[in-house]
């Protein structure tokens, strides 16, 4: 779940070994829940059914949902379809073949949070939608690769922006990644655009949720009447991937990793 660029939630924190361990546990719950949702996703499924499955799975794994009731959000997960970028509220919408679905999941273990999102095709998407999905996932890998100790927050956003715009997409600017830990949204904000060597210093023990949102058209957005669902201003497709990670002495540790994922970027920045 993303930050709006006007929110503020306290200062930057460095996590203790115990806090990091609890975040790993929460991250495992998030990763396994997303894997379960990806397995059941098919045409004919209603988005509220995904929410019910996620709620059961998070509870079964010994955690609490992070989004349910957060600032009044009425569901366990965010399910955003096609031109919906983030914060889609699950309901009676039935998925059809060709939909591009964004699943955003958060969990809490003993007061520590983890947060992750994926974009998934339902049935067979268009080649344009599939390429958007692949490039959004790769933009996340690029951002993770830039999250190094001694660097700056701006390094992450600049790497994502450079990768994205070179491939003809635009990054959303009104919603950004964020620090995470004792709260779902902590400082620092982590934009998907920026200037290298600017922003908060990255130090071991910092924990971030990096989440590129790539649009096929304009980066501009609008919010629907439900006051939650964010859509592209021009109605074109959007992709969203997110991981929670910890800054270490070397390569960042991904805390919400799913089975079979690889984080060494396969495309240069």
What was the pLDDT predicted at 7? 61
Our CA dihedral for 221, 159, 167, 97, rounded to 10 degrees, sits at -60
What was the pLDDT predicted at 263? 64
What was the pLDDT predicted at 6? 58
Half-sphere exposure of 214 (CA within 13 A, CB side): 31
**Which of 3.40.980.10, 3.90.230.10, 3.60.10.10, 3.60.20.10 is the CATH number of 3-254?**
3.90.230.10
Q: Could you read off the pLDDT tens digit of each residue along the chain, which spans 269 residues? A: 987 765 655 678 999 999 999 999 999 999 999 999 999 999 999 999 999 999 999 999 999 999 999 999 999 999 999 999 999 999 999 999 999 999 999 999 999 999 999 999 999 999 999 999 999 999 999 999 999 999 999 999 999 999 999 999 999 999 999 999 999 999 999 999 999 999 999 999 999 999 999 999 999 999 999 999 999 999 999 999 999 999 999 999 999 999 877 665 444 44
Q: Is 0.75 topped by the overall pTM?
A: yes
Domain borders along the chain are: 3-254
What was the pLDDT predicted at 261? 79
């Amino acid at each position: 779940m993303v930050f709006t660029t006007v929110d503020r939630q306290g200062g930057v924190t460095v996590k203790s070994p115990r806090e990091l361990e609890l975040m790993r546990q929460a991250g495992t719950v998030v990763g396994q829940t997303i894997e379960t949702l990806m397995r059941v996703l098919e045409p004919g499924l209603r988005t509220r059914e995904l929410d019910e499955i996620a709620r059961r799975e998070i509870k079964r794994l010994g955690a609490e949902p992070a989004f349910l009731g957060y600032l009044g959000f009425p569901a366990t997960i965010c399910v955003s379809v096609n031109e919906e970028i983030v914060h889609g509220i699950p309901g009676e919408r039935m998925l059809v073949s060709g939909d591009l679905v964004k699943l955003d999941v958060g969990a809490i273990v003993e007061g520590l949070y983890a947060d992750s999102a994926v974009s998934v095709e339902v049935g067979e998407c268009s080649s344009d939608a599939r390429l958007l999905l692949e490039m959004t996932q790769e933009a996340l890998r690029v951002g993770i690769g830039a999250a190094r100790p001694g660097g700056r927050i701006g390094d992450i956003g600049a790497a994502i922006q450079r990768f994205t715009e070179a491939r003809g997409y635009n990054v959303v600017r009104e919603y950004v990644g964020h620090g995470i830990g004792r709260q779902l949204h902590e400082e620092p904000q982590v934009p998907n655009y920026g200037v290298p060597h600017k922003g908060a210093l990255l130090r071991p023990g910092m924990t971030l949720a990096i989440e590129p949102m790539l649009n096929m058209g304009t980066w501009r957005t609008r919010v629907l009447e439900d006051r939650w669902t964010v859509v592209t201003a021009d109605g074109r497709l959007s992709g969203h991937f997110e991981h929670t990670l910890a800054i270490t002495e070397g390569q960042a540790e991904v805390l919400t990793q799913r089975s079979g994922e690889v984080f060494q970027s396969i495309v240069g920045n």
